[in-house]
Amino acid sequence: MQVLTDKGAMRAWSREQRRAGRRVALVPTMGSLHAGHLSLVDAARQHADVVVVSIYVNPTQFDRADDLDAYPRELDADLARLGDRVDAVFAPRDMYTRGGPAHETWVDVTALTQTLCGAARPGHFRGVTTVVSKLFHVVEPDVAVFGDKDYQQRRVIERMVRDLDLGVEIVAAPLVRDPDGLALSSRNARLSPEARADALAISRALFAARDAAGNGETDATALAAGARAVIEAAGGQVDYVEAVDEATLLATPRLDRPVVLAVAAFFGDVRLIDNIRLS
């Protein structure tokens, strides 16, 4: 596995692969890798000949300085976790030019970012789409893999790629859960044992809503309200619990179309997100 920290060296490596006729996959991450990330790598392997994982904690997508500071950084452990699974790791010291004029060019997907995490975390998706487009320009992948735990993020990236003709195939990989139901996230490591136990209410609430929908309930607003009550009863501080159209991400009152029930809630000071398809 090659570890590249320089944008030019990364681009040259990638171009060399493509010149040799190899298809390049990128798995963008912020590190602190877990089994969910490794499943993205496995998905990438199915779509390309060589796999690059990028590891970069992107400051522009954090709306709170304390959240950015607390975000785990463990490059050596991440490299050990990846081992031989990947061909290259791109771990830039910085993605934004230091010194000289400030960064002032941004990529903004306007409508899809108005709801859910976009509403709760102003500027978050502008940071995500900007850094992902920068990563695409540096790595020049044929395909990039995004996990469906960050469902809105995956949709926003797909729209960016379509609207800007970026020519990168986006592969969606399923959300991965611990055996007890908690969605895998780098933030889980910051949960106290008590908060982690309480946070199981999120998946419990989502599974209950999915089962109710499977049994014929079509009132999406009621399902979202029921899920919110379960999470709040366990001590979660809810940012949102919303049933949304899976394409537009707009709230929908009935299960008369493909709908995703999406949650963001704090347990302790850790913000967790999760989602499930209801139809």
Binding positions for ligand PAF, rule: CB under 6 A: 28-30, 58, 61, 128, 131-132, 150, 153
CB closer to ligand PAF out of 17 and 58 = 58
What's the one-letter identity of residue 121?
A: R
Cβ at position 186, least distance to ligand PAF in Å: 8
Cβ at position 61, least distance to ligand PAF in Å: 6
Asked if 130 contacts 95 with a C-beta cutoff of 8 angstroms, the reply is no
**Concatenated DSSP letters of 193-218:** HHHHHHHHHHHHHHHHHHHHHHTT--
CB closer to ligand PAF out of 61 and 113 = 61
CA 180 to CA 192: how far, in whole Å? 16
Residues paired with residue 29 on neighbouring β-strands, in sequence order: 55
CB closer to ligand PAF out of 28 and 141 = 28
CB closer to ligand PAF out of 131 and 227 = 131
Cβ at position 30, least distance to ligand PAF in Å: 4
- Which residue, 227, 235, 233, is CA-closest to 196? 235
Cβ at position 220, least distance to ligand PAF in Å: 26
Compute the chain's Rg from CA coordinates. 19
CA 157 to CA 139: how far, in whole Å? 16
In this structure, the number of other CB atoms found within 10 A of the CB of residue 221 comes to 13
Q: Kindly report the CA angle at 211 between 257 and 207, in degrees rounded to 5?
A: 100
The dihedrals phi and psi of 101, each to the nearest 5 degrees, come to -65, 150
Cβ at position 149, least distance to ligand PAF in Å: 8
Cβ at position 3, least distance to ligand PAF in Å: 17
- Which residue, 260, 271, 91, is CA-closest to 187? 271
In this structure, the number of other CB atoms found within 10 A of the CB of residue 142 comes to 20
Token duo for residue 57: 């904690």
CB closer to ligand PAF out of 29 and 252 = 29
Query: Which whole-number Å values give the CA distances from 52 to 27, 136, 145, in the listed order?
Result: 6, 11, 10
Q: H-helix or E-strand containing 237?
A: strand 237-245
Residue 47 a catalytic site member: no
Given the residues 34, 37, 103, 137, select the one marked as catalytic: 37
The set of catalytic residues is: 37
